[in-house]
Structure 1
Amino acid sequence: MRSYPRNSPEAAARIVALVLIADGQMCSAEVAVLRALGAERALGLEPHLLPHIVYTLSEELLAGGAQVGAYLDHIDDGALARLMAEVSDPALQQTVLRLALATARADGRLADGETLVMRAARQHWNLPDGEAPGAPKPARRRTG
């Protein structure tokens, strides 16, 4: 799989794209959510570049032996780690997680592949599993 410059719009968009195709299908509700959230602008992409990122990612996965509908079967932990390592800026990570989570929830369910990508992002970016992107941290209770 190709490498993108660290913290580039393309590197960030590829992670969102991975969530978009993780369940083997890209539904119109997911695309509509990304459009409504201004995903390309939020990621710093040129207009209409996100579909190209999705297409390129799909092509690379298929070239690597993936079958349509089973894209994530051919992405090992090392490959996921490399993808996540290309996004190290905390603010960009939060943007990616916010968009990815909105995409994953758009069709009313979280598929296993979508959950896998979200969990990998949180793990590689050292974020707690239950932390909602952009959510304030819970206040600590004072004792005594």
Structure 2
Amino acid sequence: MRRYETDSPQAAGRILALAMVVDGNLAQSELAALDSSKILQHIDLDQPGFKALLQELCQDMLTSAFHGEVRIDGAMLDGLLDEIQHPDLRRQLLQAMWRIADADGWLADAEAVLLARASTLWCAETNFSGRVLAQA
């Protein structure tokens, strides 16, 4: 899997792309949710740049396929998530990932795993839970 600079538009865009394809299906409703979230503008990534990242992600995933099955193990997933360090960027990406996953009206197991892992890794390291409780 390619490496991107920490908190770069490419690292953030790849996380969003992963949220779209992790279930094995890229739905039009997920693309619409991405567009309506305005997250691409926030991370300074245009549509052609995002589409290129999406294609690169799919190519990288296919090169690591095992007997025709694409797998993303925990260490690989953690490495991708670790490229996002800024707490506010993590929160915004996680919100967008939930919108993407929810867009087709069905939360696939792979989407749930991605969202749970991002929530666990990012919240533990940035004290999401402490900020949420303090605001409540």
Q: TM-score, normalised by structure 1?
A: 0.82
| Percent of residue pairs identical | 29
Larger Rg: 1
Q: Which residue of 2 is the match for residue 100 of structure 1? A: 97
Shift of 1:47: 3.9
Shift of 1:139: 5.8
Partner AA of 2:49 in structure 1: L
- 2:56 corresponds to 1:56: yes
Q: Which residue of 2 is the match for residue 122 of structure 1? A: 119
Q: How many residues align?
A: 133
User: CA 1:79 to 1:46, structure 2 compared with 1: closer, same or farther past 3 Å?
Assistant: same
User: CA 1:66 to 1:38, structure 2 compared with 1: closer, same or farther past 3 Å?
Assistant: farther
Instruction: Extract unaligned runs of 5+ from structure 2.
Output: none
Q: Which residue of 2 is the match for residue 91 of structure 1? A: 88
Q: Deviations over 1:60-101 (max 9, x none)?
A: 000111588x54xx2111101111110010011011101111
Partner AA of 2:85 in structure 1: S
Q: Secondary structure at the match of 2:132?
A: coil
The one of 67, 77, 82 equivalent to 1:80 is 77
User: CA 1:105 to 1:85, structure 2 compared with 1: closer, same or farther past 3 Å?
Assistant: same
Shift of 1:138: 4.1
Shift of 1:44: 1.8
User: CA 1:108 to 1:10, structure 2 compared with 1: closer, same or farther past 3 Å?
Assistant: same
Q: Deviations over 1:18-63 (max 9, x none)?
A: 1100111011111011112223102221343111111110110001
Q: Which range moved further: 57-66 or 21-30?
A: 57-66
Distance 2:61 2:133 in 1: 39
Q: Deviations over 1:85-143 (max 9, x none)?
A: 1001001101110111100000011111111111111122135xxx89xxx724699xx
Q: Secondary structure at the match of 2:25?
A: coil
Distance 1:23 1:35 in 2: 19
Moved over 6 A (4+): none
Query: For the Cα contact (< 8 Å) 2:33–2:99, is it kept in 1?
Result: yes
Instruction: Extract unaligned runs of 5+ from structure 1.
Output: none
List aligned pairs for 1:1-144, cutoff 5 A: 1-65=1-65, 71=70, 74-127=71-124, 137-138=132-133
Q: TM-score, normalised by structure 2?
A: 0.86
